[in-house]
């Protein structure tokens, strides 16, 4: 694949210049695929990205970790690996101890935001996620979700052409109609059990048995938004 080829070229260059055994190599991406409920959203299919680390002589090949980390953690991690101290006024935390096998946990929870992309994708969301549950706050639930996927026309096999086939099918297919409704319309709050419901299709916000989880995550998100100085009422 293209990814395999390009990664191979990078690793080959490290070997060519004598850096292969003394370099920490981290491969990751910036967001999920350009599909509805993926990129431009805060569902796991939009937030969850690969993180592959190669550290010869330190990390055993094939090792896996379930630790929660964020891309903002890369800077303090690199600083720690190099023996330095990251700035105290940044949000990231080092996951070097996870890489070194000294810890299995980096974070208890992750925070995420999406507001917009220029004049498109204007559906702001805020979220907090622990190892099991995800809470999403939609700042403008009265808006229909739209994005490049639903609007961009005029190129061969454009996203919107695909999206329009979904809309057509939704007119006669109840399953398609249900999925389109989940994509376009969002309540103020959403709560998902990401273990039982990895595609985050069943909103648990009104379920009494998870009310303590809802209140805990709702409170943590409000606390975090205040901490970072975000107005509580809008974008």
DSSP per-residue letters across 33-99: -SSTTBTBS-SHHHH---EEEE-TTTSPTT-----B--GGGHHHHHHHHTT----TT-S----HHHH
Q: Say what the pLDDT of residue 73 is.
A: 96
pTM above 0.85, yes or no: yes
Segment 101-141, tens digit of pLDDT: 999 999 999 999 999 887 778 999 999 999 999 999 999 99
* Count of C-beta atoms within a 10 Å radius of residue 231: 9
Backbone φ, ψ for residue 48 (5° rounding) = -75, 125
pLDDT value for 233: 61
pLDDT at 155: 66
- Cα–Cα nearest to 98, from 128, 70, 59: 59
3-state percent helix, strand, coil for the chain, nearest multiple of 5: 35, 15, 50
C-alpha to C-alpha distance for 154 and 28, rounded to whole angstroms = 31
Dig out the tokens for 132 from the structure: 């099991």
**Cβ–Cβ contacts within 10 Å for residue 125, how many?**
22
Query: CB burial class (10 A; 0-12, 13-18, 19+) of residue 35?
Result: middle
Could you tell me the two tokens for 216? 């805990």
Beta bridge partner(s), residue 40: 38
Q: How confident is the model at residue 26, as a pLDDT? A: 94
pLDDT of residue 183: 95
Those residues of the chain that have pLDDT short of 50 are: none
């Amino acid at each position: 694949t293209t990814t395999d080829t390009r990664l191979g070229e990078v690793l080959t260059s490290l070997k060519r210049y004598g850096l292969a055994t003394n370099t920490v190599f981290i491969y990751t991406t910036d967001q999920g695929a350009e599909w509805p409920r993926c990129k431009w959203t805060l569902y796991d299919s939009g937030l969850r990205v690969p993180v592959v680390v190669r550290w010869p002589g330190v990390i055993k090949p094939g090792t896996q970790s379930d630790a929660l980390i964020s891309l903002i953690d890369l800077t303090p991690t690199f600083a720690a690996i190099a023996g330095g101290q990251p700035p105290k006024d940044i949000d990231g935390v080092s996951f070097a101890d996870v890489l070194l096998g000294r810890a299995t946990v980096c974070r208890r929870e992750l925070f995420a935001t999406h507001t917009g992309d220029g004049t498109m994708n204007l559906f702001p969301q805020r979220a907090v996620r622990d190892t099991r549950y995800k809470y999403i706050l939609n700042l403008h639930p009265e808006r229909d979700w739209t994005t490049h996927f639903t609007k961009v026309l005029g190129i061969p096999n454009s996203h919107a052409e695909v999206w329009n086939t979904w809309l057509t099918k939704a007119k006669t297919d109840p399953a398609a109609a249900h999925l389109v409704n989940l994509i376009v319309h969002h309540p103020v709050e959403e709560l998902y059990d990401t273990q039982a419901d990895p595609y985050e299709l069943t909103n648990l916000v009104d379920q009494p048995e998870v009310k303590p989880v809802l209140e805990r995550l709702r409170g943590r998100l409000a606390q975090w938004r205040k901490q970072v100085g975000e107005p509580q009422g809008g974008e």
